[in-house]
Amino acid sequence: MYKFIITKIIELQSKQVPAIGIGLFRFFYGLVTLQEIFFLLYFNHLIFDPIPYIDIEFPMIPFFLCLWGIVAFFVIVGYRYQFSVISNYIFWILFVNFTTMQRDFDGGFDSFMIGAGFFLLFMPGSRAFSIDNLRYKLSSPFKHYSSFTEPLVSSLAYFIPVLICLGFLYFDSSVHKMFAEHWRNGLGSWLPSTQPYYVSAIDMSLLLNNEILEKIIGYTILVFQFSFMFFFSKRHLRPVYLIVGLGLHLGITLSLNIYPFGMGMIIFYILLVPFSWWRTLSRLITAKQPTLTVFFDQQCPLCNRTVLILNHFDIFKGIDFKSAQAYASQYPAMTSIAPENLLLDLYALDANNRIYSGVDTYSQVLRKMRYLYPLGLFLSLPGIHFLAVKKYREIADSRDRVTCSTDCLVSHELQDNTWYHRIFECFAFKKPKAFSRKLSRILIAIIVLQLNSTIHYGLFYRLDLGLKPNAYIASISEASNALIMMSLTFLGITPHALYLHDHFAGYNRILAITYTDNNGAEQWLPFVNEQGRLLAPNWGRVQSMWANIAVTPKINNVRLEKFIMKVTAFWGHKIGLNLNDTVFHIQLKNIDAPFYWVPDQLHKNFMAPWVTIGTVSWKANVISFDLPENINSL
């Protein structure tokens, strides 16, 4: 196995592929992170305050969330790549492990995002769609953009993250699924989608009420997850795994209210897109011929930098930038402009031989970029155009024009200090054998960590082999747990036993909260509605708190009261209730979570009646409960 891994590493390392997929992966990973930060800011008091808005234990949390948001934005745009991905990785670890996020508000995808963030540390994420790539070009402003070749990277940068973050995850999850009755019955995707706490606002009954289709989906998921790590890299099978995987996680994102998990998984499939598809897409979206030709002063540093910036953002390649000194005379329409005036402004010529200059050129450039068309129109508005022309003239008339000597043609390219460059290009190039041996050992160590988690929780824990407890077994168990803690914290390796039989067995009651308003009418708190669905934005980690910790098959009154306190205090403040004058009612309804197919089970659970089982009230910011001692018996 060791020799096979070394051989595979050498093979993949020598294969150079486009960096476009990794650039898009970095972009969407940053977007998913940023939306989660906005979510945490919105639910800041619910998640981090011991008593929302009343007992604020972490007043600096919003400040650090904003810092994290800035870092996530840097990741999105690819600015200071190595610094931003390291900072983002540290923020994920700190917030997950040193706040209540992991204990009470597990998002279901935190470990996955930590694992993805770890691999981003060593990926060439700045090579495509990044500000760093633009900074690299600007460091040599007198080099024409056409001299910068398409960045190529090692295919290892694609293969390893997919193998570990998707392949290992799927295999671990499929092992757990084999112990779940509803998964063995082919109803693994059907059961969660019939439970009010787990569904989104989209009614999927048309699919749920087709037993054969649901079982096909369920068994397809099992086969897909078991086989993924072994066959995803096969050239002819990659599109199959790509389409099935996207369909699976798009279905999770749309049908269930754990959308961050679905989106986090979907972004990894960017790395699975065949490279030929990217080339085909590029040919489809880019212009066959430039629709605008822009002439610039080749000897002006500011003009050259401007051209590099505009070309960098011209992703549809609709604009051609040419030296005014070398090419303007070749266009008959441009001969009407005096040579001494040609270098004073930025001139453009469109397909209809219309000439533009100055601000009008910029307006046309933005329009030809397509996605910035509204900004181009905005620049042409009368008042805006007047101010833009005034500012443009100040800059254009004060710029320094230099004669480009030999010195300015010398390359002053920025040094690439990313870990990918140092390890996968410099070290691997100088010592290929040593590189392959070291990387193979690291991969084997990660495999051992994953096997430790899978065997510990996926087999021994579920098989309950009845081994007699002794000091030797206890020591092995403690060591295994210590390894799992380390791998979970820094690599995101964790058991993926999601929505299995031990989660739904006995899940036959759900709770909601209503309150009496000033007119004596009973209203539903904007949390759980009359159907039993958790309303947006109470999804993701808030849904996990209520559906997986507060309300479980065996409800613990201490936990339940804690989260009723948090929810009433948070939403009471949000909707402007006076807590000390409001009485909250705890509603209960009985539902079913069968391990066999039942027609229209979702709507049957929706239509089940509610019963008031107790009340909650606040006095002087202290909550009191009037609830049954044993809710499980109701």
High-pLDDT (> 70) share of the chain, %: 95
Q: Does 227 score more than 80 pLDDT? A: yes
Report residue 344's pLDDT band, with 50, 70 and 90 as the boundaries.
confident
Instruction: Give the gyration radius of the chain's Cα atoms.
Output: 30
* Per-residue pLDDT tens over the stretch 53-90: 999 888 899 999 999 999 999 999 999 999 999 999 99
Report residue 211's pLDDT band, with 50, 70 and 90 as the boundaries.
very high
Q: Does 581 score more than 60 pLDDT? A: yes
Considering the chain, what is the average pLDDT of its residues? 90
Of 55-59, 192-196, 238-242, the one with minimum mean pLDDT is: 55-59
Query: In the chain, which residues fall in CATH 3.40.30?
Result: 287-409
Distance CA 626, CA 606 (A): 26
The CATH code of domain 287-409 reads 3.40.30
Report residue 532's pLDDT band, with 50, 70 and 90 as the boundaries.
very high
Of 377-386, 469-478, 545-554, 603-612, the one with minimum mean pLDDT is: 469-478
* Per-residue pLDDT tens over the stretch 12-39: 999 999 999 999 999 999 999 999 999 9
- Classified as helix, coil or strand, 303 is helix
The predicted pLDDT at position 484 comes to 83
Distance CA 292, CA 349 (A): 6
The predicted pLDDT at position 458 comes to 67
DSSP symbols for 220-269: HHHHHHHHHHHHTTSTTTHHHHHHHHHHHHHHHHHHBS-HHHHHHHHGGG
The Cβ-side half-sphere exposure at 449, using a 13 Å CA radius, reads 23
Q: Tell me, what DSSP letter sits at residue 415? A: P
The predicted pLDDT at position 408 comes to 54
Q: Which long-range contacts (CB under 8 A, 24 or more apart) does 58-64 make?
A: 58/99, 61/99, 64/91
* Per-residue pLDDT tens over the stretch 316-338: 999 999 988 888 888 888 888 88
The predicted pLDDT at position 3 comes to 86
Report residue 420's pLDDT band, with 50, 70 and 90 as the boundaries.
very high
The rounded Cα 575 to chain-centroid distance in angstroms is 30
Q: Does 384 score more than 90 pLDDT? A: yes
Report residue 147's pLDDT band, with 50, 70 and 90 as the boundaries.
confident
Distance CA 9, CA 3 (A): 10
- Classified as helix, coil or strand, 534 is strand
- Among left, alpha and beta (phi > 0; psi -120 to 50; other), residue 317 is left
Q: What is the average pLDDT across 536-563?
A: 94
What are the structure tokens assigned to 183, written together? 């998964």
**For residue 134, which of 72, 77, 199 has the smallest C-alpha distance?**
77
Cβ contacts of 515 within 8 Å, gap of 6 or more: 522, 523, 525, 568, 572, 577, 582, 583, 584, 585
The predicted pLDDT at position 399 comes to 66
555: buried, middle or exposed (CB in 10 Å: 19+, 13-18, 0-12)? middle
Q: Does 172 score more than 70 pLDDT? A: yes
Q: Does 406 score more than 70 pLDDT? A: no
Please tell me the pTM assigned to this model: 0.93
Tokens 């112990």 identify what position? 179
The predicted pLDDT at position 240 comes to 96
DSSP symbols for 5-27: HHHHHHHHHH-EEESHHHHHHHH
The predicted pLDDT at position 388 comes to 93
Of 493 and 228, the one with more pLDDT? 228
* Per-residue pLDDT tens over the stretch 390-405: 998 888 777 655 555 5
The predicted pLDDT at position 472 comes to 65
The predicted pLDDT at position 337 comes to 85
The predicted pLDDT at position 402 comes to 52
Of 359-373, 453-467, 522-536, 581-595, the one with minimum mean pLDDT is: 453-467
Q: Does 209 score more than 80 pLDDT? A: yes
Q: Does 176 score more than 90 pLDDT? A: no
What totals of helices (H) and strands (E) does the chain contain, helices first? 32, 11
Q: What is the average pLDDT across 111-133?
A: 95
